[in-house]
């Protein structure tokens, strides 16, 4: 190979390396922008939900970032207010909380500015690790899985019963699903048989793709 050919080859290699470096920088910048936008949208969602839940008499600490999913927000409802040990139907106090909170939550999640960004609302039911007398641990776990599914379905039934606006009811039904986790996902640092383990939470997930910036208000 002549020195001229060698020089051309070296220049081409340098050019490709430079283009690759530019591509990597642009990709990293786009990813950082995406993460920043998602974090901003998630914080706006949390603020809006906290405002609505506070007006419904629910502790704003119930709304928090999902530590397992950067695109999700959790709404953890008051634990032992909802179910008796072994019961699948909500207690009256829990029912009143859900009936007061649901229209406010749906007003935020199904609003024009936020609805395109919401991917799904999963209602998760949970149990403690108590099992019925005479049951093996394996049977007890299956029983608790069924029980937690019934609890999540009861939550969905109660929450839909107070949505009188047909458009918001349709939006909510498009987004919501019920899931039972049984005793498989206990709260850390709390005894597995504690009343606090009997809980229902909403896992509200935003779409991965960043489209339009979401602007929501706690006064919606």
* Dist. CA 101–CA 163, nearest whole Å: 11
pLDDT the model gives residue 138: 93
pLDDT the model gives residue 71: 86
pLDDT the model gives residue 195: 87
pLDDT the model gives residue 137: 92
Whether 146 contacts 132, CB under 8 Å: no
* Dist. CA 35–CA 57, nearest whole Å: 32
Q: Phi first, then psi: what are they for 196, rounded to 5°?
A: -65, -20
pLDDT the model gives residue 21: 52
pTM given for the model: 0.73
Alpha-carbon dihedral 209, 211, 213, 218, rounded to 10 degrees:
-60
Alpha-carbon dihedral 214, 27, 64, 166, rounded to 10 degrees:
40
Listed residue (161, 67, 62, 69) closest to 106, CA to CA: 161
From the candidate CATH numbers 3.40.640.10, 3.40.50.720, 1.20.1090.10, 3.30.1330.60, the one assigned to the domain spanning 40-206: 3.30.1330.60
Whether 134 contacts 156, CB under 8 Å: no
What is the DSSP-derived secondary structure letter of residue 196?
A: G
Give the other-Cβ count within 10 Å of 151's Cβ.
27
- Domain residue ranges of the chain, discontinuous segments joined by +: 40-206
pLDDT values of the chain reduced to their tens digit, one per residue, 220 residues:
555 555 556 665 665 555 555 555 444 444 444 444 456 777 777 887 787 777 766 776 788 888 888 888 998 886 666 888 888 999 998 899 899 989 999 998 998 878 888 999 999 999 999 988 898 999 999 999 999 999 999 999 999 999 999 999 999 999 999 999 999 999 888 899 988 888 899 999 988 754 444 444 444 4
Q: Coil, strand, or helix at residue 3?
A: helix
* Dist. CA 103–CA 181, nearest whole Å: 25
């Amino acid at each position: 190979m002549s020195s001229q050919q060698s020089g051309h080859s070296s220049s081409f290699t340098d050019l490709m390396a430079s283009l690759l470096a530019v591509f990597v920088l642009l990709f990293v910048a786009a990813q950082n922008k995406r993460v920043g936008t998602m974090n901003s949208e998630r914080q706006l969602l949390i603020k809006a939900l906290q405002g609505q839940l506070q007006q419904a008499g629910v502790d704003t600490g119930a709304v928090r970032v999902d530590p397992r999913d950067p695109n999700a927000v959790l709404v953890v409802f008051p634990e032992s207010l909802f179910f008796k040990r072994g019961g699948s139907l909500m207690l009256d106090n829990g029912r009143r909380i859900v009936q007061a909170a649901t229209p406010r939550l749906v007003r935020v999640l199904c609003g024009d500015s936020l609805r395109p960004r919401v991917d799904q609302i999963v209602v998760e039911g949970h149990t403690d690790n108590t099992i019925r007398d005479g049951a093996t641990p394996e049977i007890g776990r299956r029983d608790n899985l069924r029980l937690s599914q019934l609890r999540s379905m009861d939550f969905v039934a109660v929450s839909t019963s107070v949505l009188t606006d047909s458009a918001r009811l349709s939006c909510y039904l498009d987004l919501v699903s019920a899931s039972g986790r049984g005793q498989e996902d206990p709260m850390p640092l709390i005894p597995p048989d504690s009343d606090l383990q009997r809980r229902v939470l909403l896992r509200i997930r935003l779409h991965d793709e960043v489209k339009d910036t979401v602007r929501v208000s706690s006064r919606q």
